Structure 1
Amino acid sequence: MSYKSILVNLDVDGSIASIVKTAVEVARGSNARLIGFCAADAYLPVTGPEGAVLAAEVMRQMQDDDRRRFSELREEFEKLVFGAVETEWRDAQENPTYALVQVSRMADLILTEAREGAATGNRSRMADPASVVLQAGRPLLIAGAGAGAAPAPGRKVAIAWKDAREARRAVVDAVPLLRHAEEVTVVTVAATIDQWAREGVADVAAFLASHGITARKEAIESARESERLLEFIDANEIDLVVSGAFGHSRLREWAFGGVTRSLLDEKRLNRFMSS
């Protein structure tokens, strides 16, 4: 089991050096093809009938600017990756979240940054990772961003275990990354740690062992599930958290469970999620 193609999402207005560096490291680990991708959506300014011609001209100018930016980003991406792995480039003048979900059919894994946590600011310029992970049908690796961000993922990994479909999917999807980790911990946090919880952690560790991955087991009893998990992550200097993404559609927005929301909003962490 390995990743054969990895899709790295690049924000049209941001710096790309850090996320491309991370993507190259992950792609090298699996000898995977790396697909650079960027999308942005030009929106028609709100105006009355008398301003329609001017508004259309403004929109065309915005589209031209985005096409030039795509060319600049492609050139920078190819320079940053040059010779490291096989590459491909895609871009789209679409809503970034929608476009990233669509193009994810090309890849085994999606990489992105999320400088503003689960709910990004300008949806016409940035993909929303929370929506992507629930719609793409592919695992999502959200790289840490900003001051204090964790280093490139993979050295010390925590699997935030909950006995549910999403978490089981995440463990399987993360196996190619876990094989390269120096230390893996399967950790569960619950208000009551009973025999069922301990058996679940033990079974996940046994599954990983069958793939040649040694994992230690940790069961933490606490009613403060999200807070205690983050305390464990900090205390053990974890650089990658693997978890299921637990959420459901609520009209046009997504509602998330407490741990999923906390992890999405922890911009400094590398987070690997499946749903």
Structure 2
Amino acid sequence: MSYKSILVNLDIDGPIAPVVKAASELALRWNAKLIGFCAADVYLPITGPEGATLAGEVWQQMRDDDERRFKELRKEFEALVAGAVETEWRDAQERPTYALVQASRNADLVVLHASDGAATKDTARRSDPGSVVLQTGRPLLVVGTDTAHRVGRKIVVAWKDTKEARRAVFDAVPLLQAADDVVVATVASTIDQWARESIVDVVAFLARHGVNARSETIESYRESDSLIELIDRHDADLVVSGAYGHSRLREWAFGGMTRSLLDEIRLHRFMAN
């Protein structure tokens, strides 16, 4: 099992080197095609009837500027990859989150960088990681600010016996197989026999896929804080988890653990829904 195509999302206004470096290393690891992707939209200037013509001209100028920026980013993307793997380029003048969700159908794994937490504040210029993971139907690797190590050197699996967590563990198998150290951890206010049996089953499942994992359970009412403390204690650079959330009017409402992990922007986070 491996990833054959990796889609890396690039923010039009942000630095791209860290996320391209992480994605290209993963693509090289599995000899996967690396698809560079960038989308952006522009806001129509608000003006009265007398300024409609000028507003239209300004709007078109901003779109032309974005087209030029797409070309610059493509050159930078290809220079950073430097021919190490097969590449493809795609861009779209569309809302970034919507466009990324559509483009994800062509990938086994989506990689993006998020300088914000659970929700971006500029939906016309940057993809929203929370919305992406809940809509793509593909696993999402959110690259954190700490890029000193290769992704997946030491991994903590945040285990909860739900379909989202099962999906995340299965989708993360290639990363788990390549890791130096894997801990499957359950943090809950009460660790009962059901929880203990489920974590044993996950460790056994991973063993059948060649992953030598160990388990750890922590009883705590501070589930999110205790998980982050466990990740730091094990010096993990990647956490694997299910993503829990639902649509609420025009926003997404996230589960407490999902929001906490999305807000931990220093960490690499692998999520599936």
Please give the TM-score of this superposition, normalised by the length of structure 2.
0.98
Amino acid at match of 1:182: D
1:126 alignment counterpart: 126
1:227 alignment counterpart: 225
Partner Cα separation in structure 1 for residue 233 and residue 2 of structure 2:
30
Partner Cα separation in structure 2 for residue 81 and residue 33 of structure 1:
11
Partner Cα separation in structure 2 for residue 193 and residue 150 of structure 1:
35
| TM-aligned CA deviation for residue 120 of structure 1 | 1.1
Aligned 8 A contact 1:7 1:109 in 2: yes
Aligned 8 A contact 1:27 1:34 in 2: yes
Amino acid at match of 2:64: D
Alignment of 1:55-134 (within 5 A): 55-134=55-134
The CA RMSD over aligned residues, in Å, is 0.9
- Secondary structure at the residue paired with 2:178? coil
Aligned-pair identity (%): 69
| TM-aligned CA deviation for residue 85 of structure 1 | 0.4
Partner Cα separation in structure 2 for residue 124 and residue 188 of structure 1:
37
Alignment of 1:149-228 (within 5 A): 151-228=149-226
Once the two structures are superposed, what CA deviation does each residue of 1:136-161 show, in whole Å capped at 9, x if it has no partner?
A: 1100000002xx55633111000000
2:272 alignment counterpart: 274
Partner Cα separation in structure 2 for residue 141 and residue 15 of structure 1:
17
Aligned 8 A contact 1:97 1:127 in 2: yes
| TM-aligned CA deviation for residue 94 of structure 1 | 0.2
242, 252, 258: which is aligned to 2:256?
A: 258
Partner Cα separation in structure 2 for residue 179 and residue 165 of structure 1:
21
Aligned 8 A contact 2:18 2:147 in 1: no
Amino acid at match of 1:60: Q
- Secondary structure at the residue paired with 1:232? helix
Amino acid at match of 1:138: R
- Secondary structure at the residue paired with 2:172? helix
The count of aligned residue pairs is 273
Aligned 8 A contact 1:150 1:270 in 2: no
Please give the TM-score of this superposition, normalised by the length of structure 1.
0.98
| TM-aligned CA deviation for residue 112 of structure 1 | 0.2
1:141 alignment counterpart: 141
Amino acid at match of 1:215: A
2:22 equivalent to 1:18:
no
2:28 alignment counterpart: 28
1:47 alignment counterpart: 47
237, 243, 246: which is aligned to 2:244?
A: 246
Partner Cα separation in structure 2 for residue 47 and residue 149 of structure 1:
44
| TM-aligned CA deviation for residue 122 of structure 1 | 1.0
Partner Cα separation in structure 1 for residue 197 and residue 29 of structure 2:
32
Partner Cα separation in structure 2 for residue 153 and residue 188 of structure 1:
22
Partner Cα separation in structure 2 for residue 251 and residue 18 of structure 1:
34
| TM-aligned CA deviation for residue 35 of structure 1 | 0.1
Partner Cα separation in structure 2 for residue 61 and residue 51 of structure 1:
15
Aligned 8 A contact 2:33 2:88 in 1: yes
Segments of 5+ residues of structure 2 without an aligned counterpart are: none
